[in-house]
Every structure is written in C-alpha cells, then in structure tokens.
Amino acid sequence: MKTIVTNFLRTEDGAAVVDMTMLMAALVGLALAVTASVSNGMEDLSGDLSTTMVDHDVNAAF
C-alpha cells in the first residue's frame, strides 16, 4: 500500500488522479456495503443472544 501511495504522489499525470479517485470511491462503496451486511447480521445475533440470556435463571447461592 505504501508503494501505491508513493507512486501516486510522484505521478505527474492527471489521469492517475482520476484513476485513484475512482478506485477509492469503489473501495468506500465496498466498505459501506460490507458494513451494512455485517451490521444486519450482528443485530439479529445480538437479539437472539439477548433472548437466550433472559430465558436462563442464574443460581446465585454459593
């Protein structure tokens, strides 16, 4: 990743800026899609875990 950034900063072409902008926009879009997907799954799992924990009795006598 360091070499990519270094090469990008050294490049004098305007096309490199456009290419890198499109690449970064695609990566941000991918990150948002993955976050939304994982978030929904985690919400379902946390609800299931909460339901399971509420249904169990805790024996506090030692």
**pLDDT tens string 1-53:** 888 888 877 776 677 778 889 999 999 999 999 999 888 788 888 888 888 88
Domain assignment of residue 26, yes or no:
yes
Domain assignment of residue 19, yes or no:
yes
Domain assignment of residue 10, yes or no:
yes
Total structural domains in the chain?
1
- Check residues 26 and 59 and name the one with the higher pLDDT: 26
Q: Which domain holds residue 31?
A: 2-53
Domain assignment of residue 16, yes or no:
yes
Q: pLDDT band for position 56 (50/70/90)?
A: confident
Domain assignment of residue 40, yes or no:
yes
Whether residue 1 contacts residue 9, with contact meaning beta carbons closer than 8 Å, is answered with: no
Q: How far apart (Å, rounded) are the C-alpha atoms in residues 9 and 18?
A: 13
pTM of the model: 0.52
Domain assignment of residue 61, yes or no:
no
Domain assignment of residue 12, yes or no:
yes
Task: Say what the pLDDT of residue 26 is.
Answer: 96
Q: pLDDT band for position 59 (50/70/90)?
A: confident
